[in-house]
């Protein structure tokens, strides 16, 4: 029997008796309840987290559990959610319940719970936003005090969640450049496991700020009890998982406090980023679908809005282009039928031309020899050809070989008394300085003011912070990591106030920035510089756990040894499709195939972008991968079947589809075929009930199985 998260076991730390005066705070979504209660000692306890409790009278009876926002300096012997040192040097804090209120807004509600210390004038407000229909809860905290002098905050988690199970299984996603989001699941043992970033910028270079925590047994796609969690913070994050001597688990998500003691002034409000979680007792698939729906409805800029298909020139030209060559490339975009041409790195810098990655960053003027007539001419030419024009920027960075570096050495993060530490030959600008914020804003604003036709931006960030020191922050160096991210958001707020719907891709040397703090301002992200189709099956699979397909940019390029254009196209189609390839090198058949593919994609992209994702066969488990998107009323679905590097031992069984309506009848049709090839599946163009497709299933590999091949099936209600 499942052991739900009913935390009734009293222990030395938090033996609580329900106060008679305060009824439980019942935070409930369609399928989940999180119940908080106030003890006789007036502290706040997490008494329950699990499937929604049906009977209000029974919720009323709940009491005890673990203290929600554990403090330091008193009797708690484990990692605290908050630690602060008062102005008199005293490091203790006791948070007692004062009041709470709930505001309803449509199907969401926000509950604010005020906690105060009775000895020191410190107040913490815990905020829970409940997304009823999506089964998602976001948690954050604000910390404030009215002591005479500043206090020092050394820990400031967004929340703390407590679990009681026999075993805990953690799934994390880690990687490096061009090999992002590798998934690993492990059993947690007593002690602390931490997943974190200390990189400042490009913060998710090595670790993605998202995890699954399965209770008792590892959850599968369709079964098991778990939470999926992610932090909306484009900077240093930390998730700690601590199991105590009684096998109880505390999950602490938040900003990484590493090197970030925060001096909080009297009256100043410190707000943590939001931790988002969803609880599922039907496996990881359901958790992902909850998050995707929440993301599209609330968390991603224009999450349900249209997206532009594009042709990018990065892998086609790198830095080597001029006006003429680019205008020729526009023809490729037009031939393909995509919406937009995206000009990548290398178009700027005059005193220090950007002809490679060694110079020019920071000097955002068109390079006169490459683009004598400026961006304006390119926009015009693109428009003449019936396509839109987009541009690459990396506004937070500078090359030492640049005019910006010469003019504003004080705008750069670097130690005053040690040699500079370059990465990709560049340094990070000090965004905490308001003049730098103005500069960064003006890069975007000038571009769009001078060229109102610019319809898309790719915002890059190609290095993390090392040897970082802010001339602006002076003695407050320990605020740098936090302040930098806050200031990035400040700049984005300004940009979005003026350009609310401009599509902007969040890129960071591949997938170095993949979080919902950023996606509030961006419409999509660049998951990886690795566009090899086989690798992308894994990379896109990893991101799909937490992000909807319309945010995961997937471009068809010439990377991918031994992979046909058909295979690479089918892989990109399961995300937000784009191209980064020399179209003029296509064979006539490849061009015809790609033109048809773009048309097909435009026809079916609503199902992929807005539909429910079912991950049916994992590339981590078999030498194939099958995923499926189903639209809301279950009348249409798209199924992707990818064969990886097949080995002799591989036996591929029938595939049971998911997410269909058992009572409906569906026609299965293979689409996106390469010219001259035919659908080889005997079930092609046949009609089956949803019930049959989901129980008996279909054989997706009826003939000889060949490595690196793929099929796309359109499944339509008859
Ligand atoms: C990063 C991005 C690439 C490309 C280059 C340009 O590596 O991830 O897509 O834009 O920068 O320098």
Distance CA 6, CA 225 (A): 14
- Residue 389, pLDDT above cutoff 90: yes
| Domain 25-299 and domain 310-526+559-610 have a common topology | no
Instruction: Tell me the C-alpha distance between 364 and 397, whole Å.
Output: 11
Tell me: is residue 460 an annotated ligand-binding position.
yes
Residue listed under structure tokens 């030209």: 317
Each residue's pLDDT tens digit, 250-280? 999 999 999 999 999 999 999 999 999 999 9
Closest atom of ligand 1 to 510 CA is 8
Q: Of these residues, 529, 570, 580, 612, which one is catalytic?
A: 529
pLDDT greater at residue 318 or residue 5: 318
**CA separation, residue 238 to residues 234, 252, 288 (Å):** 12, 8, 21
Distance (Å) from CA 203 to ligand 1 centroid: 16
Q: pLDDT value at position 12?
A: 33
Residue with tokens 């269909």: 660
Query: How many angstroms separate the CA atoms of 546 and 45, rounded?
Result: 29
Calculate how far, in angstroms, residue 526's C-alpha sits from the geometric centre of ligand 1: 9
For 441, phi then psi, to 5°, come to -60, -40
Question: Is the confidence at residue 18, as pLDDT, over 60?
Answer: no
Largest CA distance in the chain: 80
Please give the DSSP secondary-structure letter assigned to residue 150.
-
Is residue 691 annotated as part of the catalytic site, yes or no?
Answer: no
**What is the per-residue pLDDT across 682-703, written as a single tens digit (0 to 9) for each?**
999 999 999 999 999 999 999 8
Report CA(318)–ligand 1 centroid distance (Å).
9
CA-nearest residue for atom 2, ligand 1, is: 509
The reply, when asked if residue 339 is annotated as ligand binding, is no
154, 79 Cβ separation under 8 angstroms = no
Determine the topology of domain 310-526+559-610 in CATH. TIM Barrel (3.20.20)
Distance CA 3, CA 1 (A): 6
Q: How far apart are CA 188 and CA 171, in angstroms?
A: 10
Q: Are strands 553-556 and 576-579 parallel, antiparallel or unpaired?
A: parallel
Classified as helix, coil or strand, 83 is strand
Give residue 445's pLDDT.
98
> Residue 482: left (phi > 0), alpha (psi -120 to 50), or beta?
alpha
The answer to whether residues 167 and 190 touch, using CB atoms and an 8 Å cutoff, is: no
Residue 613 has a pLDDT of: 99
CA atoms of 625 and 382, how far apart (whole Å): 38
pLDDT band at 21 (very low <50, low <70, confident <90, very high): low
* Residue nearest atom 12 of ligand 1, based on CA coordinates: 345
* Catalytic member of 117, 460, 532, 580: 460
Neighbours of 282 (CB within 10 A): 17
CB 161 within 8 A of CB 46: yes
- Cβ-Cβ contacts under 8 Å for 540 (sequence gap 6 or more): 527, 552, 554, 571, 574, 575
pLDDT in tens, 531-541: 999 999 999 99
Q: What percent of the chain has pLDDT over 70?
A: 97
Q: Does the annotation list 345 as a binding residue?
A: yes
pLDDT tens-digit profile of 487-538? 999 999 999 999 999 999 999 999 999 999 999 999 999 999 999 999 999 9
Q: Is the pLDDT of residue 19 over 70?
A: no
Q: What is the pLDDT of residue 13?
A: 36
Domain borders along the chain are: 25-299, 310-526+559-610, 612-717
Instruction: Verify whether residue 529 is a known catalytic residue.
Output: yes
Phi, psi of 405, rounded to the nearest 5 degrees: -60, -40
Q: Are strands 636-643 and 108-116 parallel, antiparallel or unpaired?
A: unpaired
Residue of the CA atom closest to atom 9 of ligand 1:
529
Structure tokens belonging to residue 644 = 């990886």
For ligand 1, atom 8: residue with the closest CA: 509
634 is in an annotated binding site: no
Residue 616's SS3 state is: strand
Spatial separation of the C-alpha atoms in residues 558 and 579, rounded to whole Å: 10
How remote is the CA of residue 39 from the centroid of ligand 1, in Å? 54
Per-residue pLDDT, averaged over 361-389, amounts to 98
Which atom of ligand 1 has the smallest separation from the CA of 580?
A: 9
Give the closest residue (by CA) to ligand 1 atom 11: 509
E strands, 492-607, in order: 504-506, 524-525, 553-556, 576-579
- Centre of ligand 1 to C-alpha 322, Å, is 18
98-108: burial string, b at 16+ Cβ within 10 Å, e else: eebeeeeeeeb
Beta strand pairing status for 136-145 and 275-280? Answer: antiparallel
- Is pLDDT above 70 for 76? yes
CA distance 679 to 700: 11
Whether 70 and 250 have beta carbons less than 8 Å apart is answered as yes
Decide: helix, strand or coil at residue 70.
coil
- Domain 612-717 in CATH: superfamily? Golgi alpha-mannosidase II (2.60.40.1180)
Pocket of ligand 1 (CB under 6 A): 314, 344-345, 357, 392, 460, 462, 507, 509-510, 526, 529
Q: Give the pLDDT score at 22.
A: 86
Q: CA dist 509 to 288, 316, 414, 462, 597, Å?
A: 26, 17, 21, 5, 28
The CA distance from 599 to 594, in Å, is: 9
- Tell whether the model's pLDDT for residue 3 goes beyond 60: no
The answer to whether the pTM exceeds 0.85 is: yes
Q: Any idea which architecture 25-299 has in CATH?
A: Distorted Sandwich (2.70)
Q: What residues have CB less than 8 Å from 225, skipping those under 6 apart?
A: 2, 50, 214, 215, 216, 219, 279, 280, 281
Residue 1: which pLDDT band, with cuts at 50, 70 and 90? very low
- SS3 for 215? strand
Nearest to 713, CA basis, from 657, 653, 648, 654: 657
Residues 6+ apart with CB under 8 A from 695: 656
* pLDDT value at residue 8: 41
Q: What is the pLDDT of residue 513?
A: 98
Contact status, residue 558 vs residue 582, Cβ threshold 8 Å = yes
First CA to last CA across the chain, in angstroms?
41
- The answer to whether the annotation marks 529 as part of a ligand binding site is yes
Report the DSSP beta bridge partners of residue 194: 240
From the CB of residue 219, how many other CB atoms can be counted at a distance below 10 Å? 27
Q: 400, 427 in Cβ contact below 8 A? A: yes
């Amino acid at each position: 029997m499942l052991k739900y998260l009913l935390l009734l076991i009293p222990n030395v730390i938090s033996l609580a008796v329900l106060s008679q005066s305060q009824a439980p705070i019942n935070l409930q979504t369609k399928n989940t309840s999180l119940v908080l209660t106030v003890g006789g000692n007036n502290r706040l306890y997490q008494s329950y987290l699990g499937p929604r409790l049906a009977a209000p009278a029974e919720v009323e009876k709940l009491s005890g559990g673990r203290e929600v926002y554990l403090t330091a300096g008193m009797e708690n012997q484990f990692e605290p959610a908050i630690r602060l040192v008062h102005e008199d040097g005293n490091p203790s804090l006791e948070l007692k319940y004062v009041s709470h209120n709930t505001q309803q807004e449509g199907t969401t509600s926000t509950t604010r719970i005020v906690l105060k210390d009775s000895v020191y004038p410190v107040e913490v407000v815990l905020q829970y936003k409940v997304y009823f229909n999506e089964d998602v809860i976001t948690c954050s905290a604000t910390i404030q005090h009215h002591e005479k002098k500043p206090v020092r905050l050394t820990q400031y988690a967004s929340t703390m969640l407590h679990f009681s199970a026999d075993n805990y299984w953690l799934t994390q996603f880690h990687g490096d450049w061009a090999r992002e989001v590798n998934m690993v699941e492990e059993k947690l043992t007593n002690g602390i496991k931490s997943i974190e970033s200390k990189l400042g910028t490009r913060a998710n270079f090595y670790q993605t700020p998202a995890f699954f925590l399965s209770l008792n047994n590892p959850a599968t796609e369709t079964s098991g009890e778990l939470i999926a969690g992610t932090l909306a913070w484009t900077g240093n994050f930390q998730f700690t998982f601590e199991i105590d001597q009684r096998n109880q688990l505390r999950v602490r998500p938040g900003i990484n406090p590493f090197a970030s003691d925060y001096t909080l002034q009297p009256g100043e409000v410190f707000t943590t980023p939001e931790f988002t979680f969803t609880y599922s007792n039907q496996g990881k698939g359901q958790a992902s679908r909850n998050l995707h729906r929440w993301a599209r409805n609330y968390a991603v800029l224009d999450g349900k809005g249209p997206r532009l298909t594009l042709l990018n020139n990065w892998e086609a030209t790198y830095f080597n282009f001029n006006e003429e060559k680019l205008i020729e490339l526009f023809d490729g975009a037009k031939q393909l039928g995509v919406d937009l041409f995206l000009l990548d790195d290398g178009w700027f810098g005059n005193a220090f031309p950007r002809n490679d990655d060694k110079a020019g960053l920071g000097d955002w003027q068109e390079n006169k020899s490459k683009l004598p007539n400026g961006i304006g001419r390119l926009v015009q030419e693109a428009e003449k050809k019936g396509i839109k024009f987009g541009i690459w920027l990396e506004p937070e960075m500078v090359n030492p070989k640049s005019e910006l570096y010469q003019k504003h050495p004080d705008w750069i993060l670097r130690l005053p008394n040690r040699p500079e530490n370059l990465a990709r030959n560049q340094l990070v600008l000090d965004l905490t300085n308001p003049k730098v914020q103005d500069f960064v804003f003006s890069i975007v604003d000038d571009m769009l003011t001078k060229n109102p036709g610019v319809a898309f931006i790719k915002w890059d960030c190609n290095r993390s912070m090392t040897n970082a020191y802010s001339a602006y922050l002076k003695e407050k160096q320990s605020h740098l990591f936090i302040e930098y991210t806050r200031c990035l958001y400040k700049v984005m707020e300004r940009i979005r106030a003026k350009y609310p719907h401009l599509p902007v891709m969040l890129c960071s040397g591949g997938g170095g920035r993949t979080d919902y703090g950023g996606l509030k301002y961006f419409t999509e992200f660049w998951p990886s510089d690795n566009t090899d189709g086989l690798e992308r099956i894994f990379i896109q699979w990893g991101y799909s756990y937490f992000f909807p397909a319309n945010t995961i940019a997937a471009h068809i390029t010439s990377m991918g040894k031994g992979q046909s254009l058909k295979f690479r196209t089918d892989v990109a189609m399961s995300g937000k499709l784009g191209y980064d390839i020399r179209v003029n090198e296509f064979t006539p058949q490849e061009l015809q195939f790609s033109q048809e593919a773009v048309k097909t994609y435009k026809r079916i992209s609503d199902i992929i972008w807005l539909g429910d994702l079912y991950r049916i066969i994992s590339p981590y488990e078999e030498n194939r991968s099958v995923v499926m998107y189903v639209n809301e009323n279950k009348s249409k679905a798209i199924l992707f079947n990818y064969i990886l590097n097949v080995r002799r031992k591989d036996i591929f069984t029938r595939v049971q589809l998911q997410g269909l309506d058992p009572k409906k009848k569906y026609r299965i049709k293979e689409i996106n075929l390469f010219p001259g090839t035919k659908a080889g599946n005997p079930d092609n163009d046949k009609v089956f009930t949803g019930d049959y497709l989901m129980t008996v299933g279909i054989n997706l590999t009826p003939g000889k199985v060949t490595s690196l091949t793929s099929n796309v099936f359109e499944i339509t209600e008859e």
